Amino acid sequence: MKSLNRFLFALAINIAICTTLFAQKFEELAQTPPMGWNSWNTFQTRIDEPLLKGMVDTYVSSGMRDAGYTYFVLDDGWMAMERDRDGNLVADPKKFPHGMKAFADYVHSKGLKFGIYNCAGTKTCAGYPGTRGYEYQDARLYASWDVDYLKFDWCNTAGINAREAYATMSKAIRAAGRPMIFSLCEWGEHQPWRWAKTVGQLWRSTGDIGVAFDKPITRNGWTPLSVLNILDRQDSIRQYAGPGHWNDPDMLEVGNGMTYNQDKAHFSLWCMLAAPLMAGNDLRKMPEQTAAILTNKEMIAIDQDPLGIECFKYYSFDGLEIFVKPLANNELAVCFLNRSNRQQMINYDWKDHAITDDFSKVNIDFNQTTYKLRDVWSKKDIGTTGKAVKLAVAPNDVVVLRLTK
């Protein structure tokens, strides 16, 4: 019996060691979709220390931090054009005269977490040094700077296998020993939702978003996707998302040039999708309307619901769509989206519309169960599902209701 016990003890130790050795991402991170701000949408590579310190300060004073936004992420353009003699990445000395560790310390001093960018290829999308061949060295450098989040892009990757490249960087982060969220930005080209659950905490599900709600707009010879382009590509992959592993429909364009209704709809839809919420506007010039959208805590609570279940499209007709998101405690969020260019009037009798979802196992008959209705944007209680609800939805706008027992 003693020999058996010794054998079982040794086996348990070996299993624990092997689990540690072969584990990749830090499983405890991103149990709800990450929230933060990223420099790319507004500034591209035109970033420097004074500008970004001002952005950090505004991040706090604007109420973003208190609303749940945590990460401050530098995108492309933070580094010098060449590595140093030892092969290390170097922060651009003109943009960051005090170095990247000092800037990370400043971010942390404000109660935020710090994120940084690089690329799986030989160069970044803007032509700076990429990580290919330097994965472990770069991960150790980021750990020494106390980085909390790495966005890893997919430019200049000819001949590189995506699964191998991202797995290698994931292992390098683990070996460096500092927990970092790993954001796979490979644009959904290799269906990362099928293989990246053990590699990173989130993965891009589509190409880049632009400042356009319904139809893509070409600027400077480039045509990014619109909000609705991206929305239409999410429903078929919702089963792959959940706590610690999220489909990422790209960063938010709220505050960057769309109408108020479109910004509100964009933000609502991303929350319904349980999407990472990465703002990308100039926080220093943010009007009250934009701040009210980004910091609507009732809408954010839908995004951050602990079940981590994406919405599904329940209904679609004549430009009107209804999305349903199962929430904890058998609650629901229901979003009425008006994709058309005219106001839509809704007379919705809940008793005629049972809600079933095979993925989440939700099965609700409103003839049997009555829910209270809360309008998330007007922040008003508007009755129960015992009576039909009458709504007017403006063009390119939404009404979002939270259903509670």
The answer to whether 283 and 53 are in contact (CB under 8 A) is no
User: How far apart are alpha carbons 194 and 182 in whole angstroms?
Assistant: 16
Alpha carbons 107 and 56: distance in angstroms, whole number = 7
| pLDDT (0 to 100) of residue 74 | 98
pLDDT for residue 125 is more than 80: yes
pLDDT band at 195 (very low <50, low <70, confident <90, very high): very high
Catalytic residue among 105, 146, 208, 282: 208
Is residue 136 helix, strand or coil? helix
Q: 369-404 burial string, b = 16+ CB within 10 Å, else e?
A: eebbbbbbbeeeeeeebeeebeeebbbbbbbbbbbe
- Write out the E strands in 11-73: 35-38, 71-73
User: What are the tens digits of pLDDT across the range 347-376?
Assistant: 999 999 999 999 999 999 999 999 999 999
Looking at residue 24, its pLDDT comes to 87
Specify the DSSP element, H or E, that contains 183. Answer: strand 181-184
Task: Give yes or no: 153 in active site.
Answer: yes
Does 328 have pLDDT greater than 70?
Answer: yes
Tens digits of residue pLDDT in 44-63 = 999 999 999 999 999 999 99
Q: Residue 7 to residues 12, 19, 20, 364: CA-CA distances in angstroms?
A: 9, 18, 20, 51
Higher pLDDT, 1 or 194: 194
Write the CATH number of the domain with boundaries 21-303. 3.20.20.70
Q: Exactly one of 76, 153, 303, 305 is catalytic; name it.
A: 153
Domain 21-303 and domain 312-404, same fold? Reply is no
In the chain, where the domains are located: 21-303, 312-404
CA distance 49 to 391: 47
Structure tokens at 389: 């609800």
- How many C-beta atoms surround the C-beta of residue 190 within 10 A? 18
Phi/psi of residue 320, nearest 5 degrees: -105, 130
Question: Nearest Cα to 165, choosing from 142, 189, 199?
Answer: 199
Please say if the pLDDT value at position 19 is more than 60: no
Residue 3 reports pLDDT greater than 70? no
pLDDT of 102 over the 90 cut: yes
The reply to whether 208 belongs to the active site is yes
pLDDT at residue 245 is higher than 80:
yes
- 14 — pLDDT class (breaks 50, 70, 90): very low
Average confidence score pLDDT of the chain: 95
Give the Cα separation of 58 and 104 in Å (integer).
16
What is this structure's pTM? 0.94
User: Domain 312-404 classified CATH 2.60.40.1180?
Assistant: yes
pLDDT of residue 307: 98
At 252-306, the pLDDT tens digits run: 999 999 999 999 999 999 999 999 999 999 999 999 999 999 999 999 999 999 9
Residue 79, CB half-sphere, CA atoms under 13 Å: how many? 25
The structure tokens 């790209």 sit at 250
> Cβ of 180: how many Cβ atoms within 10 Å?
26
